[in-house]
Structures are given as C-alpha cells and as structure tokens.
Amino acid sequence: MDTTNLVLGKSTTYQEEYSPSLLQRIERQLGRSAIKNLKSFEGFDVWHLYELTYLNLNGLPCVCMGCMIVPAKSKYIVESKSLKLYTMSFTMTRFKDLSFVQKVFERDLSKLLECKVEVKLYPLHSKDFAIHTIKGTCLEELRCCKDLNFKNFEYSPEVLAFDDKKEISKTYYTNLFRSLCPVTAQPDYASLMICYEGRKLKEESLLTYLVSLRHHQGFHEQCVELIYSDLVSYLNPKKLTVAAFFTRRGGIDINPVRTNQKSLSPLMLRTIRQ
C-alpha cells in the first residue's frame, strides 16, 4: 500500500482555522484487493466524533459530538488522521450555529468521498450518544470456550467448523478482537458482532478464528469485510451481518457493518469502551 502522501504515521502541525484541504482519502480497493475471496455485500461505516469545537458569531467556544455514515459502496474512505486534523481546524473559526457546521461538514465529506455522506452533530446532552450493550451470546463467556488453548495468532480461516445437521438463527459477539493498523502497526481494539441464520457454527472454532486475526494488518473496514467474506465462503448463510465497534483513536471511533440484508438500517450503537 502506497502511504507516501498520507498524514497517517507522520508528524503534523495542527491548524485552528477551517481548512477542508486537510482531508485525505484512500481507495477501498487497496484493502479489498488483499481479500482472496471477497464477497458482495451491503453496508455502511458509522463514525463517531467526540472532539468537535468551534466559535459562534460572538466568539464563544461551542462543543458538540458528531456521527457520520458512509456507504460501504463508496469508492473511497476518509483517512482517519486527516479527519481529526480537519475537525480541529474548526477550533478558531466562527460559524452561525450547529446546523451550519453540520452542513459544512456534510458538504466537505461528500465532495471528498464522491458519495452522499450523512452527518449529524449533537449537543452534549443528546441521548443519541448513550452507551448500549451488545445483545447476543458472548463467545469468551461460553463454557466450551473458557478452557480453550490458543496457540495460533496468525490469520487462519480454515479453523472454522460447522454442524451440517443443524440450522440456527444466532447473534454472537466478542470483546476480545484486536487487529493492527496496516500503516503504523499500532493495535486496534473492537467488540465484534456476528448475526446470522444458517448452518450451526461450532462456537469454539469461531472464537479461535477471530483470535487468529490478532496480528492481521488491515484498516477497520477491511477487517470486517474479510470476516464477512470468510463466513460467507465457509458458512453460506441465509442471512449474515458482521459489525465491529472499534475503540476510539484521536477522538474518533469507526464502526463498519457488512451484511447481505438490503434493508438493514445503520446500527447507531456505542459500546462502553467507546
């Protein structure tokens, strides 16, 4: 991956005057090309923004939180550090009100990614940023998984195993997921949720597979697409949704969702570690 022109992993100077030129984008295909059996999907990426501040017309500092939704079919993703620098450039710039800031934000991101990006900004008292618990079966708390011996921490989809005689509808999740940034090799942590209908997964094999991605280097979106594609390849489910809720870095968290359900609404869920 050519990262020569990206600000990610490089020392930077922070600007405090509004500057959309700080934004950078990355082609999704750079990550997807590394997935051997990439499957088709629907989905979106939900980004939570926690460190937004600007000045009102009287010069009074205002603070808010934000959420932006990017369709998975967009050609580009925004480079996360450039997004942080962009949001910081609002710090000493005067805007009419929160609604105007939201329109500016939405316009700039939609232009950058060449698609419709939905942006919502909220005051601090908004309940939209309330913490929720993932509903489902926690893999690491299952009796069959508690005594497992984990020795392999390199990507191993072949460990996935199924019961051909049973079909179920189930939601699993784990709070143990970790991967690595493909540019800086810094660790990324997430809670991961898998909802599916189809052949019964052997639960210990699913946790073993997810743990095997501990040294995998990929952007958040690529990690979810890899897991989704592997489950489609090995499971061929009637229904499948894979969602990851990554912990924040630089005041931003990223939550990719990939599914074979055409009508799935964005999962506006924030976990306790976010």
Helices and strands (H, E) in the chain, number of each type: 6, 10
Q: What is the DSSP letter of 75?
A: S
List residues with catalytic annotation.
Answer: 181, 188
3-class secondary-structure state, position 263: coil
pLDDT, one tens digit per residue, over 232-242 is: 999 999 999 99
Name the pTM for this structure: 0.93
| Residue 48 near residue 126, CB atoms below 8 Å | no
Report the mean per-residue pLDDT for the chain: 94
Residue 213 predicted with pLDDT over 90 = yes
pLDDT, one tens digit per residue, over 87-145 is: 999 999 999 999 999 999 999 999 999 999 999 999 998 888 889 999 999 999 999 99
Domains of the chain: 20-129 (3.30.1130.10), 137-259 (3.30.1130.10)
pLDDT of the residue at 129: 86
Nearest partner of 222 among 24, 23, 30, judged by Cα: 30
End-to-end alpha carbon distance in the chain: 28
pLDDT, one tens digit per residue, over 138-193 is: 999 999 999 899 999 999 999 999 987 889 999 999 999 999 999 899 999 999 99
